[in-house]
């Protein structure tokens, strides 16, 4: 998805989904952050994409990404944010991408397909 210089850029559902996929595939990103009360979201007809916003600067429309930094990634916060910015920009063609590091956490361990962990608190 590329945009020619001077062309208008629309933040559509496809663009939002591409931004989410790009951000989440970036090393150092544990997830996206929807804000304390869920206020950070891209609102589109029939859908809501948490962790993204459509923003305007100097008559250009871009994307704001609120991410959760993965503290176990081995990367600096600035490197993770820079990598996320580059990945989202390449995936969407947005004229600009602002990255806000909203939280830090350990990324969840990958779960094997179909395996549900036992709940030791539940007896049965």
φ, ψ for residue 53 (rounded to 5)? -140, 150
Q: What is the pLDDT of residue 109?
A: 60
Structure-token pair, residue 48: 């809501």
Task: Report the topology of domain 13-105.
Answer: Alpha-Beta Plaits (3.30.70)
Q: What is the pLDDT of residue 107?
A: 76
- For the segment 56-67, what is each residue's pLDDT rounded down to a tens digit? 998 899 999 999
Nearest to 52 by CA among 112, 2, 11, 86: 11
Structure-token pair, residue 75: 């990367």
- For the segment 63-91, what is each residue's pLDDT rounded down to a tens digit? 999 999 999 999 999 999 999 999 999 99
H helix intervals, the chain: 13-24, 77-92
- For the segment 10-48, what is each residue's pLDDT rounded down to a tens digit? 999 999 999 999 999 999 999 999 999 999 999 998 899
The residue ranges of every structural domain in the chain are 13-105
């Amino acid at each position: 998805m590329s945009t020619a210089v001077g062309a208008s850029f629309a933040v559509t559902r496809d663009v939002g989904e591409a931004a989410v996929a790009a951000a989440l595939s970036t090393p150092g990103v544990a997830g996206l952050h929807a804000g304390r009360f869920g206020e950070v979201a891209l609102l589109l007809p029939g859908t809501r994409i948490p962790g993204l916003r459509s923003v305007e600067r100097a008559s250009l429309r871009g994307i704001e990404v609120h991410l959760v930094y993965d503290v176990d990634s081995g990367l600096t916060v600035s490197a993770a944010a820079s990598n996320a910015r580059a990945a989202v920009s390449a995936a969407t063609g947005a004229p600009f991408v602002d990255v806000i590091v909203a939280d830090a956490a350990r990324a969840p361990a990958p779960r094997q397909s179909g395996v549900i962990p036992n709940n030791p608190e539940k007896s049965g």
